[in-house]
Structure 1
Amino acid sequence: MSLEENATNRHGSPAHIQLPEQLSSKFIDRFIRLKTTYWNREYAIVLLAIIGVSITSQQFNTYIKYIDFMNQPNKTENFHLYGCLSYNLFGYMIGLIPGGVLATFYPAHNILGICVAISSIGHVIVIMSISYLNSLTLCILQMCIGTTMAVGDLSIDRVWTYWVPLNKQSIRHVPMVMYLVIFEEGYLRDTMDKLHNEHSSYSLTLFIGVIGLAWYVLWLYVINGNYSFGSLNRDFILFGGLNNSRYSFEAYGNSLTRSIVSDIPWKSIWTSKPFLAIVVLYVCDSRLYQSYYYNTDLFSNDVFEWTMRDNTVVLLLLVVVLVELFPEIALPISTTNVRKIWSCSYFGSLGIIFFLEVILGNTIKNNKMCQYLFKEMRHLYNFGFYVNTLDIAPKYASLLSSFLMCIHYYISDILWASVVRPILSFA
């Protein structure tokens, strides 16, 4: 509308009077859009999946705490503790590639639901029969539980890309990033440690297994979508979701082995420049972080760590709200550039910290700002290469994650021990 039209319109109002109403209406519309974006069944499924994976991890942690609690009166080294740790890790490593394949060819929400249920049942059986089984049997059970944990951890990526297609919108990966912040930074671990000190270790450990079974029932309820147990069919009750031609190789009459060979674009994956770049970043990040972690006292100050964790979670929530309410903030910058900025900033800041550590000595221990920089850059780095595994090939997100986890557990350690460390020792 022009100025002349405003002047001649008897029912019109000056522009400066209409503007607040327009802004208010626009702001309300954006709040509604924010609510509809995140307050829906799809995001509820993703968040519930994160809770399920967290439960399986806490089941193992509480089991280790319980074994340690049982060993305390005698103060003797018991094969249960160290054997279970190694067997669980061994089982986890075995389940990486099969987990990625299963989550690719079968509905990932089915796989995740089964894994949490099996892990919970196994956890309850182990706890209730721990006094009757020998050490070897318990460790073999832990190996099976570790394999189940690996499959569940990998299936969550495909659950995410299936239920919430992201279309390269990194800001909407924040629930996954918050999971990394809350889970990896020890919120759940600290809470469970406090509960172990306040309640019976046996009862708490058994309760975590029961919680996993309760989660599975809720998972069936939410995935069904009709919110009525009467409408559940046989496939749903057994597996937690209906098979879909988008997943199932059986729709084409092929065997699983033939589908693995023919349906997965192996050559395209391993010759993809974005994926190869992620592989290099993953190897570098794994070794740099481990070197940094073991050579500093970064995590010794609990008060400082807890404060940063709280601030990071609040900061992430504020960023989400601001970008969703004011998308103009993020529009000028492409998602690719954002991820490059975070990745380069993280590795650049980490390189500077290592140089300062060599030149000045004890920089991290004495400088709170360096500690804060490293911790926050690592959280923001999750907006970089990590979310690329969800966007490069959403259908194969779990498979890509399984490759990266194998690189983390196998190739990275072998490369460091066989190549990098001898070179550094020679120098």
Structure 2
Amino acid sequence: MCCPKRFIVVGLGFLGLLVSIGYRAVFALVMVDVIKNQSVGGKCTVNASDPTRYLSLAGRVTVQFSQNINTAYFIGSLITQAPGGYLALRFSPSRICGISILLSSILMLILPLAIPFNKWLTMAIRFMQGFVEGASVPALSGVIAAWAPRTEKTRMITISYSGAYLSPTLAFLVTGYASCYVSWHASLFIYGGCGVLWSLAWFFCIYDSPADHPGVGDREKLLFIEEGPGHRGGNRLIASGIPWQSIFTSLPMYAIIVGSFCRNWIFSLILTELPQYFHDVFNASIDDIGWMTGVPEVFMTLVTVTGGVLVDKTIKSRKCGITTTVGRKMAQCIGFGTEAICFFVLATLGNTPENRTTAFILLCIGVGFSGFAISGYQVNPLDLAPQYASILTGLSRCGALGAILSTAVAAVIRGKTGSVNNWQTIFWIAGGVHMAGVIFYGIFARGTRQDWAKVKEGEGLINPVGSESDMHTESREHIYSKSADYGSTRREEEDYSDNDKIFSQSVDNGALRRSDYDEGDNWFLLTI
């Protein structure tokens, strides 16, 4: 029996994020290893006298410059974040996603040659990696949305996007042990090679939607006929009617952007700066740094999945009068508020062995609880304007500016010595930024569909199987609307005053009336 094609989409989506998001952590930890003092080795077996396995850039590349290289990556990523949302809506999301990660993987394989050769070339490559990766997540979101039937949306997207949150853990562990016991560049080749192989598998197996795939089985085809395929990319009609002015003047939209800014500030600090913190303050070996910085992300993954389901069910049950707006704000305040407090406490710690354990515990708690916030700002685009979710997501990901500022500020404050006091200042600033974001989101966030996102009379119906002139493979798509035995599907924009549920399920003569994008329970789609 052939494996359902949507399962392949889920599996490859999980692996794609597991590898591509891990590139950031791999590079950050490799740089900590190659610019560290040679006397710090821990239990590592790599011999400093073997140039093929050990690289020392001490004296040639400073810690501050390596942090600036991380900043260059985030600058490149910022440039293509917003366009990525449009590309996912207008063109083939599967091809954009595959090309994006393929190019980044090739650059990853070039890094081992560039790092010992020239630091400016290394910075240029990292900038290009960020630039080409910017469109990958919005494009992947478009593919997953198209392949997720209504009754399977949550489980499919949860599994797919959990790869993004597990990726730092795997990346830190692999890099720590590979650098310690194999060679300084082993993890770069491992991840770059895996990325290339993943891209080839993605190009060969993945299509933009079930209607485009020639190998969808009868049973799976029946499932999509009964429930309807999800939103797909390449939609010129929707892309031509985006209300840009209303989006750019919406305070709830800015609340999402602020939430993304704060998230990127902390996330980049965790991925690119914490390894250096444990080295500077506690003189930890590269293998210890790998697991201490990776484990907190495991807790975040667990909280993201379980907390998201809990928040979603609480909103739907209306217990204690919790509306969508209240639910989003509660999730945001619990997640980011707890993390901010943990960073404030972290800023008071010294460099004793006991404080090393305390710092690790605080990170597990703070980073873990931040998973609740994923059910806040990251899901909000579906509440405000479900039909423009990919656009709002692309704009919100301009919060990557927080990652740029975070790494730049850390590079300046840390200075040349990386003293305990300098790191305490960095953590005070991070906690303050997070708490300010909680307050802003708590005031301006909304969970209702905005006026500019409501469908006008006569514009509510969209053919889910592609009646537009630019919809290719029309003959294949026609099978979903032609069969009288299986029924038909149509999608209709439904307006709810408090839109925690975007779709309706009334069935009339075999036709399933659905919302414009039928993504009401798709809370996990934008959690990255």
Confirm or deny that 1:377 pairs with 2:369: yes
Confirm or deny that 1:278 pairs with 2:256: yes
The answer to whether the 8 A contact 1:84-1:138 is kept is yes
The answer to whether the 8 A contact 1:62-1:192 is kept is yes
Query: Against the structure 1 CA distance between its residues 357 and 75, is the aligned structure 2 distance closer, same or farther, given a 3 Å change threshold?
Result: closer
The answer to whether the 8 A contact 2:265-2:402 is kept is no
Cα distance in 1 between the residues matched to 2:115 and 2:366:
45
Confirm or deny that 1:178 pairs with 2:156: no
Instruction: Give the percent of matched residue pairs that are identical in Structure 1 and Structure 2.
Output: 20
Match of 2:148?
164
Confirm or deny that 1:89 pairs with 2:74: yes
The answer to whether the 8 A contact 2:13-2:160 is kept is no
TM-superposed CA distance for 1:158, in Å, is 2.9
Query: Against the structure 1 CA distance between its residues 384 and 266, is the aligned structure 2 distance closer, same or farther, given a 3 Å change threshold?
Result: same
Please show how residues 92-131 of structure 1 align to structure 2 within 5 Å: 92-127=77-112, 130=114
User: What is the identity, as a one-letter code, of the residue corresponding to 2:12?
Assistant: L
TM-superposed CA distance for 1:118, in Å, is 1.4
| Correspondent of 1:155 among 139, 143, 163 | 139
User: What is the identity, as a one-letter code, of the residue corresponding to 1:110?
Assistant: R
Query: Against the structure 1 CA distance between its residues 351 and 85, is the aligned structure 2 distance closer, same or farther, given a 3 Å change threshold?
Result: closer
Confirm or deny that 1:208 pairs with 2:183: no
Cα distance in 2 between the residues matched to 1:282 and 1:59:
20
TM-superposed CA distance for 1:217, in Å, is 2.0
User: What is the identity, as a one-letter code, of the residue corresponding to 1:340?
Assistant: K
The answer to whether the 8 A contact 2:300-2:368 is kept is yes
The answer to whether the 8 A contact 1:88-1:146 is kept is yes
Cα distance in 2 between the residues matched to 1:82 and 1:190:
21
The answer to whether the 8 A contact 1:181-1:379 is kept is no
Confirm or deny that 1:42 pairs with 2:6: yes
User: What is the identity, as a one-letter code, of the residue corresponding to 2:396?
Assistant: L
TM-superposed CA distance for 1:141, in Å, is 3.3
Which sections of structure 1, spanning at least 5 residues, go unmatched? Answer: 1-38, 232-243, 253-258
Match of 2:125?
141
User: What is the identity, as a one-letter code, of the residue corresponding to 2:142?
Assistant: R
Cα distance in 2 between the residues matched to 1:153 and 1:353:
29
Secondary structure class of the residue paired with 1:174: helix
Which sections of structure 2, spanning at least 5 residues, go unmatched? Answer: 35-50, 216-229, 283-287, 350-354, 410-428, 433-528
Secondary structure class of the residue paired with 1:386: coil
Q: Which shifted more, 186-195 or 71-80? A: 71-80
The answer to whether the 8 A contact 1:278-1:385 is kept is yes
Cα distance in 1 between the residues matched to 2:28 and 2:92:
32
Confirm or deny that 1:342 pairs with 2:342: no
TM-superposed CA distance for 1:148, in Å, is 0.7
Secondary structure class of the residue paired with 1:95: helix
Cα distance in 2 between the residues matched to 1:354 and 1:196:
29
Match of 2:59?
76
Cα distance in 2 between the residues matched to 1:287 and 1:208:
25
Deviations 1:231-258 (A, max 9, x none): 8xxxxxxxxxxxx995336x67xxxxxx
The answer to whether the 8 A contact 1:96-1:151 is kept is yes
Query: Against the structure 1 CA distance between its residues 265 and 246, is the aligned structure 2 distance closer, same or farther, given a 3 Å change threshold?
Result: farther
Please show how residues 239-258 of structure 1 align to structure 2 within 5 Å: 247-248=233-234
TM-superposed CA distance for 1:144, in Å, is 1.9
User: What is the identity, as a one-letter code, of the residue corresponding to 2:177?
Assistant: K
TM-superposed CA distance for 1:348, in Å, is 5.4
Question: Could you state the TM-score of these two structures normalised by the residue count of structure 1?
Answer: 0.60
Secondary structure class of the residue paired with 2:158: helix
Match of 1:402?
394
Count residues with an aligned counterpart.
Answer: 352
The answer to whether the 8 A contact 1:50-1:156 is kept is no
The answer to whether the 8 A contact 1:162-1:394 is kept is no
User: What is the identity, as a one-letter code, of the residue corresponding to 1:97?
Assistant: A
Query: Against the structure 1 CA distance between its residues 177 and 378, is the aligned structure 2 distance closer, same or farther, given a 3 Å change threshold?
Result: farther
TM-superposed CA distance for 1:409, in Å, is 0.5
Confirm or deny that 1:219 pairs with 2:208: no
Query: Against the structure 1 CA distance between its residues 102 and 130, is the aligned structure 2 distance closer, same or farther, given a 3 Å change threshold?
Result: same
User: What is the identity, as a one-letter code, of the residue corresponding to 1:164?
Assistant: A
More helix by share: 1
Match of 1:256?
none
Cα distance in 2 between the residues matched to 1:279 and 1:309:
23
Match of 1:239?
none
Match of 1:235?
none
Query: Against the structure 1 CA distance between its residues 376 and 279, is the aligned structure 2 distance closer, same or farther, given a 3 Å change threshold?
Result: same
Q: Which shifted more, 398-407 or 165-174? A: 165-174
Match of 1:189?
172
Confirm or deny that 1:54 pairs with 2:54: no
User: What is the identity, as a one-letter code, of the residue corresponding to 2:130?
Assistant: G
| Largest Rg, 1 or 2 | 1
TM-superposed CA distance for 1:114, in Å, is 0.7
Secondary structure class of the residue paired with 1:264: coil
Match of 1:15?
none
Please show how residues 18-37 of structure 1 align to structure 2 within 5 Å: none
C-alpha RMSD of the superposition: 5.4
Secondary structure class of the residue paired with 1:118: helix
